[in-house]
Structure 1
Amino acid sequence: MNKTTTETERQSDVLRALLLERRATLQREIDRLIAQHRDQHGHFQDSSVLDLEDMSLRDATAAQQIALLEARTRQRIQLDEALRRLDEGTYGVCEDCEEPISAGRLRALPFARRCVACQEQFEVFERIVQREDREEA
């Protein structure tokens, strides 16, 4: 049974709303992390003298916040790319084998670019490249 244009547009609208909702949630978290980092950095700056323990805590907290901020920013960028693919009509299609990505995978990872099999192959390839890079260094 073929889907009508209206059904396809409705599904696209639902997907877009889901992606935009997840993106907005991520953006709020990014904004919160930035504000939190700014507040904590200001707190440590206001302290007249930092001892070694304070400096260690400041550095560890900052590193943790920055790592989390980077992860959330990468996810937001992936959602932006998913929205672009939705606009182009390629959302939900594996960029390697061009087969449909399962609905379950897209529910779990709405920004998935590959089907499970192709993603596994991609990760194996990445590990090989990383291992070779480490061996060359």
Structure 2
Amino acid sequence: MAKTLVEPTSTSAEKLRTMLLDKRSAVQQQINELLAQHREHYSTTHNDSVLDLEDMSLRDSTAEQQLSLLESRNRTRMMLDTALRRLDDGEYGLCEDCGAEINPGRLKALPFAKRCLSCQHQAEVLEKIARQEDRSDM
């Protein structure tokens, strides 16, 4: 099915851009804070002369949590970057799979949504099947 580009008015496009950039800026700030915390935690725990097993376990667990949060925030930032590119290309708000308009409520909740709810559900089912197949190959 051919996609029809929806050209948002310049006012609405600028509002969308501002909203996306504000969200991206907030996520980038979270990333910066997480990196600073990780460096501080790493520096503090590695400068301790002797760590027992419990201290090392706590250090490793905390570091893993910080890295997991960092990865999540980075994925969100990348999705916001993609949404900004889609806005520039006139494709923002259109499902990348079927070309239908994405519900405005969905975009309000997930401004980086690339798919309509139906296509997103289908993609998640396919992803779940692929993960199950990967597990069964082990």
Query: So what's the TM-score if we normalise by structure 1?
Result: 0.94
Larger displacement relative to structure 2 (127-136 or 29-38):
127-136
Unpaired segments ≥5 residues, structure 1: none
Asked if 1:130 corresponds to 2:118, the answer is no
Question: Which has a greater percent of helix?
Answer: 1
Asked if 1:21 corresponds to 2:14, the answer is no
Using CA pairs below 8 Å that are at least 6 residues apart, which structure has the higher relative contact order? 2
Query: Which residue pairs with 2:113 in the alignment?
Result: 112
Q: Amino acid of the residue matched to residue 55 of structure 1? A: M
Deviations 1:60-82 (A, max 9, x none): 00000000000000000000000
Query: Which residue pairs with 1:47 in the alignment?
Result: 48
Q: Amino acid of the residue matched to residue 30 of structure 2? A: E
Tell me the distance in 1 between the aligned counterparts of 2:46 and 2:136.
Answer: 42
Query: Which residue pairs with 1:61 in the alignment?
Result: 62
Helix, strand or coil at the partner of 2:127: helix
Query: Which residue pairs with 2:90 in the alignment?
Result: 89
Helix, strand or coil at the partner of 2:93: coil
Tell me the distance in 2 between the aligned counterparts of 1:59 and 1:71.
Answer: 18
The Cα shift of 1:136 comes to: 1.1
Q: Amino acid of the residue matched to residue 69 of structure 1? A: L
Tell me the distance in 1 between the aligned counterparts of 2:60 and 2:46.
Answer: 13
Unpaired segments ≥5 residues, structure 2: 1-6
Report the RMSD for the aligned CA atoms in angstroms: 1.0
Q: Amino acid of the residue matched to residue 109 of structure 1? A: L
Q: Kindly, what percent of the aligned residue pairs are identical?
A: 54
Deviations 1:40-60 (A, max 9, x none): 111111111011111011000
Q: Amino acid of the residue matched to residue 37 of structure 2? A: Q
Helix, strand or coil at the partner of 1:132: helix
Q: Amino acid of the residue matched to residue 28 of structure 1? A: Q
Query: So what's the TM-score if we normalise by structure 2?
Result: 0.94
Query: Which residue pairs with 2:4 in the alignment?
Result: none
Query: Which residue pairs with 1:77 in the alignment?
Result: 78
